[in-house]
Structure 1
Amino acid sequence: MFSRDTPYEPGGGTSDRIKSSISASPSMAIIFLCIVSFFLEMVPGIGSLYIDTFQFNPSSILTRPWTLVTYIFLHAGLGHLFFNMIVLYFFGTALERKVGNKQLLGIFFTAGILSAIGYTFLSRPIFDIYPGPMVGASGAIYGVFAALTVLEPNLRVYVYFVPMRLKHALLLFAVFDFLMVNSTDMIAHTAHLSGLFVGLYMGYRIKRMHDKYIRTRFAGRW
Structure 2
Amino acid sequence: MAIILLCVISFFLEMVPFREFNFISAFQFDPGFLLTRPWTLVTYIFLHNGVWHLFFNMLVLYFFGTALEQRVGNKQFLGVFFTAGVLSAIGYTFLSQPIFNISPGPMIGASGAIYGVFAALTVLEPNIRVYVYFIPMRLKNALLLFAVFDFFMVNSSDMIAHTAHLSGLFVGLYMGFRMKKIHEKYMKSRYAGRW
The partner residue of 1:193 within 166, 175, 181 is 166
Q: Which has the higher contact order (CA 8 A, sep 6+)?
A: 2
Matched, 1:162 2:104: no
Match of 1:115 among 88, 113, 117: 88
Aligned pairs for 1:3-22 within 5 A: none
Q: CA deviation at 1:47?
A: 9.9
Of 99, 102, 115, 1:142 maps to 115
Q: Which amino acid aligns with 1:51?
A: I
CA distance in 2, matches of 1:82, 1:221: 49
2-structure distance, mates of 1:55, 1:46: 18
Match of 2:64 among 87, 91, 102: 91
State the Cα distance separating 1:45 from its structure 2 match: 3.5
The structure with the larger Rg is: 1
1:52-100 deviations in Å (ceiling 9; x for gaps): 0000000000000000000000001111000000000000000000000
Stretch moving more, 73-82 or 37-46:
37-46
Which amino acid in structure 2 is aligned with residue 65 of structure 1?
P
Following superposition, the deviation at residue 220 of structure 1 comes to 1.1
Once the two structures are TM-superposed, the CA of residue 33 in structure 1 deviates from its matched residue by 0.3
TM-score (norm 1): 0.86
- Equivalent position amino acid for 2:150 in 1: D
Cα distance in 2 for partners of 1:42, 1:141 equals: 24
Compute the displacement of 1:141 (Å): 0.2
Aligned: 1:35 with 2:8: yes
In structure 2, the partner of 1:51 is 24
> 1:66 aligned to 2:39?
yes
Q: Deviations over 1:83-126 (max 9, x none)?
A: 00000000000000000000000000000000000000000000
1:44 Cα deviation after fit: 2.2
User: Matched residues, percent identical?
Assistant: 78
* Contact residue 40 and residue 47 of structure 1 kept, 8 A: no
Cα 1:215–1:164 shift into 2, 3 Å: same
SS in 1 for 2:45: helix
Listed as ranges, the gaps of 5+ residues in structure 1 are 1-27
Structure 2, unaligned stretches of length 5 or more? none
Per-residue deviation, 1:46: 5.3
**CA 103–185 in structure 1, closer or farther in 2 if over 3 Å, else same:** same
Structure 1 Cα separation of the partners of residues 156 and 174 of structure 2: 27
Q: Which residue of 1 is the match for residue 48 of structure 2?
A: 75
Q: Which amino acid aligns with 1:162?
A: I
Residues 1:211 and 1:166: Cα distance change in structure 2 (over 3 Å): same
Q: Distance in 2 between matches of 1:156 and 1:65?
A: 38
The amino acid across from 2:120 in the alignment is A
Aligned-partner residue type, residue 102 of structure 1: K
Secondary structure of residue in 1 paired with 2:137: strand
Structure 1: how far apart are the matches of 2:9 and 2:182? Answer: 36
Paired residue type of 1:90: F
Q: Answer whether contact 1:155 1:165 (CA < 8 A) is retained.
A: yes
RMSD, aligned CA: 1.0
What TM-score comes out, normalization by structure 2 length?
0.98
Cα 1:93–1:46, aligned 2, differ >3 Å: closer, same or farther? farther
**Do 1:41 and 1:48's aligned partners in 2 also have CA atoms closer than 8 Å?**
no
